[in-house]
């Protein structure tokens, strides 16, 4: 069957019903086109009908245990789930390596913006080769349309779980973790990438060969390039604020432009919680705490821990300043200030972490 576009005058062979160039409905001009003359000025083109892509069932991403993705990744068991994804432990059947696989919910994979955001996450995080950042190793897609990210499997304990078990940390222990977090963030910031969803659930404490622990920042799923980019603008055009309310900076709450200082603020909120087991702003709901950050000042940490070093408290309060201009300009500056304000730490070693 031959069909012609009444607008651009091109003639198409095949089952296409609409013009690939301008979307106009095509009109029949003859059988298969053999022996049919092509009017002057027209071009004959083969155009295939667009076949809707097969979509996975909505429960597919939630039930991958014991299955194999792309003939390579054997899914062992589910580790957890979030608002837009499921995370599994898996084994690379080629190398035997344990991996973590983050699978986008099929419901969201049908949304172009969600898929675009996940692809952006992969592209950004693949560049973050640093001991205090969890890398993205690969972005994949199964034959039935599941989109997934492959990451190293970190065997350790979430910072949020450690806080629950141990309660408020000593200055020495907390600063050790915070300096490592600042080191990873500073590396990302130098790549023009900010995290903007820092919270204890996004930091893993992994045992290292030196008998200590390495703090690894995970889930750059809300990462945003700190550059003008039309494709990034499309993702935030709806005005939706992305992040965790309790840890968001005032400028992020307001939907304004953010930079490295917003991550400094998020790290400051984490630090306050690590040392006090409380948040620096009070409220019955996350929304009330957001309003408190816009209108008030953080609670002095020494209100909850009178024995806490005043010099270290001052560093934390500066990181939580409402105006970004009043905070530390970089995560490196913040880390250095934490070191200088803490007694009984290996200053030289911690400074080397920050470069």
pLDDT the model gives residue 45: 46
Say yes or no to pLDDT of 186 above 60.
yes
Calculate what percentage of the chain has a pLDDT beyond 70: 77
φ and ψ of 184, to 5 deg: -65, -40
Residue 210: Cβ within 10 Å count? 7
Instruction: Give the ranges where the chain is alpha helix by DSSP (H).
Output: 106-109, 112-125, 159-166, 171-190, 230-236, 250-253, 260-276, 286-295, 310-319, 331-340, 347-353
Say yes or no to pLDDT of 105 above 50.
yes
Query: Mapping DSSP to helix (H, G, I), strand (E, B) and coil, where does residue 145 land?
Result: coil
**Pairing state of beta strands 44-46 and 11-13?**
parallel
Q: What residues does 3 pair with on adjacent strands?
A: 12, 28
Per-chain mean pLDDT for the chain: 81
Q: Which pTM does this prediction carry? A: 0.75
Confidence of residue 340 (pLDDT cuts 50, 70, 90): very high
pLDDT, mean of residues 192-219? 92
CA distance 355 to 353: 6
Calculate what percentage of the chain has a pLDDT beyond 90: 48
DSSP 18: B
Establish whether 219 is a catalytic residue: no
pLDDT the model gives residue 134: 92
pLDDT the model gives residue 345: 94
φ and ψ of 48, to 5 deg: -85, 145
Q: Is 13 exposed, middle or buried (0-12, 13-18, 19+ CB in 10 A)?
A: middle
CA distance 287 to 246: 8
Q: For residues 277 and 6, which has the higher predicted lDDT (pLDDT)?
A: 277
How far from chain centre, in Å, is Cα 306? Answer: 36
CA distance 13 to 9: 13
Tokens of residue 122, six digits: 């992969």
How far from chain centre, in Å, is Cα 56? Answer: 23
Angle formed by the axes of helices 260-276 and 171-190, nearest 10°: 160
Q: Domains of the chain (ranges plus CATH)?
A: 1-46 (no CATH), 60-152 (3.30.200.20), 157-230+240-353 (1.10.510.10)
* Active-site position among 197, 219, 259, 333: 197
**Nearest residue to 270 (alpha-carbon basis) of 139, 172, 177:** 177
Residues in the chain: 355
**Nearest residue to 222 (alpha-carbon basis) of 139, 124, 103:** 124
8 A C-beta contact, residue 277 and residue 206: no
8 A C-beta contact, residue 146 and residue 60: yes
- What would the pLDDT profile of 31-78 be if each residue is shown by its tens digit? 433 333 444 444 444 444 433 445 555 567 888 999 999 889 999 999
- What would the pLDDT profile of 115-141 be if each residue is shown by its tens digit? 777 677 678 778 899 999 998 898 888
Q: Which of 164-173, 247-256, 306-315, 329-338 has the lowest mean pLDDT?
A: 247-256
pLDDT the model gives residue 33: 38
């Amino acid at each position: 069957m031959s069909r012609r576009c009444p607008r651009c005058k091109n003639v198409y062979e095949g089952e296409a019903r609409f013009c690939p160039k301008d979307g106009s409905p095509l009109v029949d001009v003859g059988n298969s086109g053999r022996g049919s003359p092509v009017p002057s000025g027209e071009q004959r083109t083969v155009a295939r009908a667009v076949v809707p892509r097969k979509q996975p069932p909505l429960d597919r991403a939630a039930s991958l245990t014991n299955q194999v993705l792309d003939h390579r990744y054997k899914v062992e068991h589910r580790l957890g789930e979030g608002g837009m994804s499921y995370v599994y432990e898996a084994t690379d059947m080629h190398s035997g390596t344990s991996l973590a696989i983050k699978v986008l919910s099929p419901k969201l994979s049908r949304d172009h913006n969600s898929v675009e955001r996940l692809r952006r996450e992969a592209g950004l995080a693949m560049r973050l080769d640093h001991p205090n950042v969890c890398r993205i190793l690969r972005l994949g897609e199964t034959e039935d349309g599941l989109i997934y990210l492959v990451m190293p499997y970190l065997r350790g304990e979430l910072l949020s779980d450690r806080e629950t078990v141990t309660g408020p940390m000593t200055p020495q222990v907390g600063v050790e973790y915070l300096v490592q977090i600042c080191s990873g963030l500073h590396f990302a910031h130098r790549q023009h990438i900010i995290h903007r969803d820092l919270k204890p659930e996004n930091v893993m404490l992994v045992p290292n060969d030196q008998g200590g622990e390495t703090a690894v920042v995970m889930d750059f799923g809300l990462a945003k390039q700190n550059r003008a980019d039309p494709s990034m603008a499309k993702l935030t055009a709806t005005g939706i604020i992305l992040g965790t309310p309790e840890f968001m900076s005032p400028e992020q709450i307001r939907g304004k432009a953010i930079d490295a200082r917003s991550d400094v603020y998020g790290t400051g909120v984490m630090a306050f919680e690590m040392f006090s087991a409380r948040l620096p702003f009070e409220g019955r709901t996350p929304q009330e705490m957001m309003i408190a950050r816009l209108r008030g000042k953080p609670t002095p940490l020494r209100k909850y821990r009178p024995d806490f070093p005043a010099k270290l408290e001052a560093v934390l309060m500066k990181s939580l300043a409402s105006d970004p201009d009043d905070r530390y300009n970089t995560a490196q500056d913040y880390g250095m200030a934490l070191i200088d304000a803490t007694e009984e730490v290996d200053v030289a070693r911690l400074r080397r972490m920050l470069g």
